[in-house]
Amino acid sequence: MLYWEDMVVGSSREFGHYDVTREEVLEFANKFDPQPFHLSDDAAAKTHFGKIAASGWHTGSMSMRVIVDALGKEPQAGLGSPGIDELRWLKPVYPGDRLTVHGMIVDKTPSRSKPSLGTIRTETIVTNQDGVDVMRYTSIVLMQRQPASA
C-alpha cells in the first residue's frame, strides 16, 4: 500500500491506454451529452469537429478508467478527491483514437486539521496516438498518511 509519504513531487508515470470506439462515443453521448456533433455524422460535419467527436466528459471518464485500472495494480491509500482545477479539452477525441494517460505529482500538503490525511496535486495529460495533447487537468487527491507504528 502506498501512502501520502510515499508520493514524490516531480515523479511521473504513464497509466496506460484506452481505445476509443464509435459505439461508446454514441452510447455516452446519448445518455449524458446528446449534442448533435456527438451523435450524427452529418451534424458533426457542419462543425469544426468535422466528424463525430467524443464528449469532453466522456474523455474524462475514459482517462479515469485508465487511472483506476493502473492504481488497482499498485494499491494506494487514496480517499477520493475534493475537485479538479484547470480542466482543459485541448483537441477533439474521435472514434478510433488511442488515448494515453500520463500523470505527474506537482505538490503535496499535509492536512492541518486531520493529521491522518494529506493531499497531493497531480497534473494529468491525455494524449492521442499522434502524441497530441487532447486533455489536461490538475486534480487534488486526498490520501491517508502512513499509520503510526505501535
Structurally, the chain folds into a number of domains equal to 1
Q: What is the CATH number of the domain that holds 87?
A: 3.10.129.10
Domain that holds residue 80: 4-144
How far, in Å, CA of 75 to CA of 40, rounded? 40
Q: Give just the sign of the alpha carbon dihedral 61, 91, 20, 101.
A: negative
Question: pLDDT tens, position by position, for the chain (150 residues)?
Answer: 899 999 999 999 999 999 999 999 999 999 999 999 999 999 999 999 999 999 999 999 999 999 999 988 888 899 999 999 999 999 999 999 999 999 999 999 999 999 999 999 999 999 999 999 999 999 999 999 998 754
pLDDT of 84: 95
Q: Is the pTM of this model over 0.85?
A: yes
150: in domain: no
81: in domain: yes
C-alpha cell at 55: 464528449
149: in domain: no
**Backbone φ/ψ region at 107: left (φ over 0), alpha (ψ -120 to 50), beta:** beta
63: in domain: yes
pLDDT per residue as tens digits for the range 37-77: 999 999 999 999 999 999 999 999 999 999 999 988 888 89
110: in domain: yes
